[in-house]
A and B are shown apart, each in its own frame.
Chain A
């Protein structure tokens, strides 16, 4: 009886958190069906924004730029952050705190300051372009990768790795077989954090982008005054649903695999 009550409270609590996190999302989704250009006026239900979404080449361009930027910045961040999180874990106290400070710097500065400092820096040796935004995004994505990975790296159980070495496996092979599986969830979470941060960033993108490079974020900020184009609510909803479905599919797939190894802790 008491267990049931506790279970009920637990579920209720999760529901509250769900509402807290998702009510703004629901509002935006509703707006994507609003037949009025103003976000505060309900003009009836319509699907027209979904139809018009891709007719504007500007929106499509911005979407492609945004996605490419997010993907490559996250990839770079993982490629740089993954070895670094091992490296940092191997260091002793003093070296470690120096490195953690370095990791934290991009998180410590206000976005505009990071954006402006990078702009001032870039202008000395390159014209602002897609590459400059890519570099800037990678800079602020790396900390998320490292911070997501480090607890995982620290918790790695090295015994299977050492046993594999004892059994004659080469180091890379043993690493890939015995250590990597323990890190996938960390890599995935770091990668997704990066993707998300990159998709969401405005200030840094704004200052480091060249003329003609537009992301969905810079587009949306530019439209606040005139009223955000409802096509963008529709597009956001589509992106949101696509990511949701993709992630759920991946999750179901990995869960099936996890079932084979007989553990509920599927990564």
Chain B
């Protein structure tokens, strides 16, 4: 018996050593690989994995694909330099930060074949963080609004005020994220969501502190499910969640309040580490292609900036305000821009105060 144990241990040790060696060897060998490859960093569940295989089949370019949960952890991992990412897909204000820090390079849009599929207005709203639209390619976008249960909330909801007038105390779910929560308060007060004015921000803080007893929970990922399950009457959610919420519980309605809200836009950028710009261009161009964009759209049901896909949708989908936001959102909604360090530190402290108060 003990010989067996001893031998197993020896064999296992050898295996571990071999694997570690293989791991280190793999590092040395990866540079000398003949085939082209790209390392792509995206949000989780944000791209149909079959499209990656399809891209490799068509072009022979291998994709090393990695996923992140939030823009911040993507930034942390990217900045550490532990992995050389070629392409990133991240959110508006994080792109602004990457551009300012000189981490991204221009995309050769001239040599794209499918760029016309992307509506021009999405490049226009991207100007908030990419003024000459040189660095970013819009990928998915949407709004933030209120998802509410019409079997509980009888009157039509059209304003953020429903979150603050205490009529649904204990039935409200807010976003557990700094920018999205302050955005709601700032917009309700009639201010810009990108404000750096201390008085305006403090006013928002007072409002949110007064609201806190009414808030059932500050959630991110589970907010939708809580409304679907009937544990809360309303939640502040991303438009993409609203479509799925409606799928599971048809009493749910989504509204972008009249005071305006946030238009968020997730875009691709090419990092300065990218060694093979042509491969990167091919990948981005591939994502703009109608069939590919459609597959990705059907994978997650977030709003796509790909007009070719939008016009091919069935009528009922086109009329879904969560899936295809109406033009009116461009009038009163804003895109998040990067805060300067002082402002972001201030928000950081206020958020901690709000959460632990």
Contact = CB atoms under 8 A, between A and B. Distances in A.
A35 B79 CA distance: 42
Contacts of B116: none
Contacts of A225: 44-45, 220-221, 241
A131 B45 contact: no
B249 A41 contact: yes
Interface stretch (B66-74, B254-262, B290-298): B66-74
Contacts of B221: 224-225
A126 B15 CA distance: 20
Interface residues of B, number: 45
Interface stretch (B21-29, B95-103, B142-150): B21-29
Contacts of B83: 127-128, 210-211
B84 to A, nearest CB: 8
A92 B208 CA distance: 56
A221 B45 CA distance: 10
B35 interface: no
Interface in B300-351: 300
A40 B64 contact: no
Contacts of B80: 119-120, 123
B175 to A, nearest CB: 12
B249 A221 contact: no
A221 B70 CA distance: 11
B44 A223 contact: yes
B23 A129 contact: yes
A206 B73 contact: yes
Contacts of B69: 221-222
A3 B181 CA distance: 59
Q: Determine chain A's interface SS by DSSP, over half rule.
A: helix
Nearest to A130: B23
B45 A222 contact: yes
A51 B84 CA distance: 37
B105 interface: no
A41 B248 contact: yes
Interface in A89-130: 116, 119-120, 122-123, 126-130
B178 interface: no
A148 B41 CA distance: 39
Contacts of B15: 72
Interface residues of A, number: 38
B249 A131 contact: no
A126 B27 contact: yes
Nearest to B65: A212
A39 interface: yes
A206 B74 CA distance: 11
A41 B82 contact: no
Interface in B223-281: 225-226, 228-229, 241, 244, 248-249
Nearest to A73: B16
Given A123-B80, A212-B66, A76 B44 contact: no
A209 B171 CA distance: 39
B81 interface: yes
Nearest to A173: B2
A253 to B, nearest CB: 12
A176 interface: yes
Contacts of B300: 226
B267 to A, nearest CB: 19
B153 interface: no
Contacts of B27: 126-127, 129
A40 B76 CA distance: 33
B151 to A, nearest CB: 15
B253 to A, nearest CB: 17
B342 to A, nearest CB: 24
A211 B66 contact: yes
Given A40-B248, A72-B19, A119 B82 contact: yes
A23 interface: no
B228 A38 contact: yes
Nearest to A58: B49
A225 B73 CA distance: 16
Given A75-B9, A75-B16, 10 more contacts: A38-B225, A72-B15, A72-B16, A119-B82, A120-B80, A129-B27, A134-B16, A212-B65, A222-B45, A225-B221
